[in-house]
A and B are shown apart, each in its own frame.
Chain A
Amino acid sequence: MSGLLPSPLLALRGIGKSFLGVRVLDGVDLQVRPGEVHAVVGENGAGKSTLMKVVSGVHQPDEGTIEFAGAPRTFRSPREAQQAGIGTVYQELTLLPERTVAENVWLGREPLRRGLVDRRAMLGRTAELLASVGEGSLPPDTRVGRLGVAQQQVVEIVKALALDARLLIMDEPTAALADHEVGQLYALVRRLQEHGMGVLYVSHRLKEVFALSSRITVLKDGRAVTTLDTADTSADQLVRHMVGRELSSYYPDPAQPQELGPVRLTVRGGGNRKLRGIDLRLRAGEVLGVGGLQGSGRSALARALFGAAPFSTGQVTVDGAPVRLRSPRAAIRAGIAYVSEDRKGEGIVAGQSVLDNALLAGRAVRPGRLGRGARTARVRELLAAFELRAAGENQEIRFLSGGNQQKVVLARWLALAPRILLFDEPTRGIDVGAKSAIHDLVRRLARDGAAVLMVSSELPELLGMSDRIIVMRDGRIAGELAAGATEEDVVALAVGTEREAAG
């Protein structure tokens, strides 16, 4: 590259960060120039959010240096980063809903006059700032709670401006916005850019990245793989950089066509607050993989089918008969089981014994003396078959490893002999050995005639385990892929590059 580039506003060199021995960031270099919108992309868990938290002072890097506005800096707290001129708009908004726009913008730094808050000055300056970003129509004395998400974001941004921020971090700013609001956000970001502000823009959505950014840094497994000039980059190239790894081959064999049985579950026109227009069929003997980004509706789909966050529209049938899955209890009675992605919060009762945990669903749905001995015997059998490692069946489950806890959760469900199994991230937080045991088990269940739906954010797992994959985006099924699809196919559907799905 030739010519004189402006000196960088922010320069990160060799940033490294570990949590509990897990390396989350590894030697990350990144530069943001004044007036540049610099996008940071990567898969879930690539380290994007951690990197943003390092820049905004929430986390301190273990190694590497941060240079801001030409001087090396260390930020021990978000406040120090703010004072230095780094503003952040978080995914979740942090405003006080009961206060006005102006009060939020000046919170903790209210302009004073003779020791009292100078309301007039506060309102006036807020109005100026709003006007400077083209939002002059927003009255500064409105209560924030009455504003929509998009307008609240404007307030967050103005709050950063009031602090004389020169760099703005935006972490998934469009995640909660409606389509027409996204356009307003674009305009706002461009105006900030004209003011010479640098913007670090984290997003899953390639469309936004291409529309807004001048350069893109790709993070993968905690490393900055490459930094690209947006103008010279295609969506396909970007996806390849984001994925770029080999598919390992220790997954069990997929189902043969003759192993597929009748249709177990159908959904037509299913929708609720997080899902729209869901149509799907699930056959006995198959593993249907569900891909998509975080918040795309992949977990919401599993929860809707289990009645935990039910469909409000559409029809569901199980084995041909219409069912109403209004609660987990109703779903369980229809022969459905669900393994949550949040094992600690929704899967186990930490203080109860292994046996109590494994018996929970059976006790709840089919209580009574009859069959009590048989039920316990069945659960013991399952735990033994899973080679559970525990000091005994009366040990509290919280002392078990993640993999062994998951085996107990599985035993709980299999004791009920469900015909439809919904797995949400079944191997999250589980060590490699137990992982492949769970993969084998999932396949064995399908082979024995169960219909399996498996949500996974790990692409190798999704591709390795599934007979068929649906990919979710924005609460809809963005497309379906047959076995043999590539990681690029899944990511392309998930982020929405307009490309035909293979298969």
Chain B
Amino acid sequence: MRIARPLRLLRFRSGGLAPIIVILAVLLVLLTARQPDFLSPPSLMSFLGRSAPVVLLAAGQYFVIVSGELDLSVGSLVTAQVVIAARLIDGDPSAGWPVVVLLLAFGVAVGLVNGLVTTRLRVPSFITTLGMFLILVGAVYLWSDGAPKGGLSEEFRLLGRSAFEDVPALGRIPYALLLLLAAAALALVLTRSDFGRTLVAVGGNPRTAELSGVRVWRAKTLAFVLSGLAATLAAVLIGGYSGVSFQAGAGLEFGAITAAVLGGVALGGGRGSAVGAMLGALTLETLFTLMNFYGVSGALKPTVQGAIILIAVAAASFRFPSR
């Protein structure tokens, strides 16, 4: 028998994304029923711009989760980056780009430490990144004596809060959305690269990967670095959009993990797509918007996230009973 020609290819490719697309569509329908102009260009553009940080974090989290690990440190990394940026820039308009480069380096460094401690010292990533979370929170408090110092320059904040104005048909295109699209394209290229496919194999079966010549520790460490970079970009957007605060990144790690799981990325690794994780983030944001319109208390957000994680993981274990 020969391999059947790739006619069926589409079915297998879309198989993983179908549920999240359906959920997102249903939520959008519910949302437009309540708020008919939600899907109008200006409102949609601003929604996508606002969602950009979480979508970025979900993409970063995808790489870590698909490799079989978990990154709980991204929320506090976002906070740390915002606070660091504020203190270093301290209102100086010319400090913007150098500080962004520095933040990127810091994001890479945090990812490297997370990755190396997890793979080389064999600390479970849940613990490694929980430790990193606490370390960053404490260090930032110590470094700024309990209250954020300095301030972000207007130039630095442009990326997070400004937009191309008066674009025909669409109106306003936030810079954040453009950054997001660029990052999403990059994520897509990465997931289809040799590295991306190998990373899925590492999460799916590390023994097989190792015995096929994969340097498992290196692949996982790179995944953490990608997550650190995603958190840095998210921090730049959040700093610009909402300013400096110790709460800047609070809870974002759970948002990102919930989004990834909702988008079909299997906890434990080996299954899922970056697109799914990003759609998961949009779905989550849509859901929160919907809750807002229907007057549901914002205090319920964590409860909803928790319920989603439980349901999504349980649903996945029905779809893919033991490997």
Identify the A interface with B (CB < 8 A).
306, 308, 328-329, 332-333, 338, 340, 345-353, 356-357, 359-361, 363-365, 367-368, 372, 380, 383-384, 387-396, 398, 412
Contact = CB atoms under 8 A, between A and B. Distances in A.
B212 A364 contact: yes
Contacts of B5: 392
Given A349-B270, A392-B5, 14 more contacts: A329-B213, A329-B214, A332-B212, A346-B208, A350-B204, A351-B323, A356-B201, A363-B194, A363-B197, A364-B212, A364-B215, A367-B198, A388-B3, A398-B323
Q: Which among A340, A346, A396 has the highest number of chain B CB atoms within 10 Å?
A: A346
A357 B212 CA distance: 10
Interface string B1-19: 1111111110011000000
Contact of A351 (B1, B194, B320): B320
Contact of B12 (A346, A357, A389, A395): A395
Given A351-B270, A352-B201, A394 B208 contact: no
Contact of A384 (B2, B7, B271): B2
Interface string B117-152: 000000000000000000000000000000000000
Contacts of A396: 12
A125 B266 CA distance: 53
A131 to B, nearest CB: 44
Given A306-B211, A328-B213, A346-B211, A360 B201 contact: yes
B210 interface: yes
A338 B211 contact: yes
A383 B6 CA distance: 14
Contacts of B2: 384, 387
B137 to A, nearest CB: 35
A351 B269 CA distance: 10
19 contacts: A328-B212, A349-B204, A349-B205, A350-B323, A351-B204, A352-B197, A352-B270, A356-B200, A360-B212, A361-B212, A367-B194, A372-B194, A388-B3, A392-B7, A392-B8, A393-B3, A393-B6, A394-B12, A394-B13
B207 interface: yes
Contacts of B323: 350-351, 398
B211 A368 contact: no
Contacts of A338: 211
A308 B8 CA distance: 37
A349 B201 contact: yes
A390 B3 CA distance: 6
B209 interface: yes
B9 A332 contact: no
Interface of B: 1-9, 12-13, 194-195, 197-198, 200-201, 204-205, 207-215, 266, 270-271, 320, 323
B211 A328 contact: yes
A71 to B, nearest CB: 41
Nearest to A384: B2
Contacts of B207: 345-346
A348 B205 contact: yes
B3 A350 contact: no
A352 B200 contact: yes
B194 A387 contact: no
Q: Which among A328, A333, A384 has the highest number of chain B CB atoms within 10 Å?
A: A328
Contacts of A392: 3-9, 12
Nearest to B7: A392
Given A392-B3, A394-B13, A360 B209 contact: yes
A306 B200 CA distance: 23
Given A364-B198, A395-B12, A352 B204 contact: yes
A347 B208 contact: yes
A353 B6 CA distance: 13
A363 B193 CA distance: 9
Contacts of B6: 392-394
Q: Which among B9, B12, B209, B212 has the highest number of chain A CB atoms within 10 Å?
A: B212
A363 B194 CA distance: 5
Q: Which among A329, A332, A351, A365 has the highest number of chain B CB atoms within 10 Å?
A: A351
A46 B159 CA distance: 71
Contacts of A349: 200-201, 204-205, 208-209, 270
Contacts of B205: 345-346, 348-350
Contacts of B210: 308, 328
A388 B12 contact: no
Q: Nearest 3 pairs between A and B by C-beta?
A: A349-B204, A367-B194, A363-B194
B13 A351 contact: no
A310 to B, nearest CB: 13
A353 B270 contact: no
Q: Which among B8, B194, B213 has the highest number of chain A CB atoms within 10 Å?
A: B213
Contacts of A388: 1, 3
Nearest to B210: A328
B213 A384 contact: no
A464 B323 CA distance: 35
Given A328-B210, A329-B215, A392-B4, A363 B270 contact: no
Contacts of A332: 212-213
Contacts of A333: 213
A391 B8 contact: yes
A460 B215 CA distance: 38
A434 to B, nearest CB: 12
Given A388-B1, A392-B3, A360 B12 contact: no
A340 B200 CA distance: 20
B271 A360 contact: no
A367 to B, nearest CB: 4
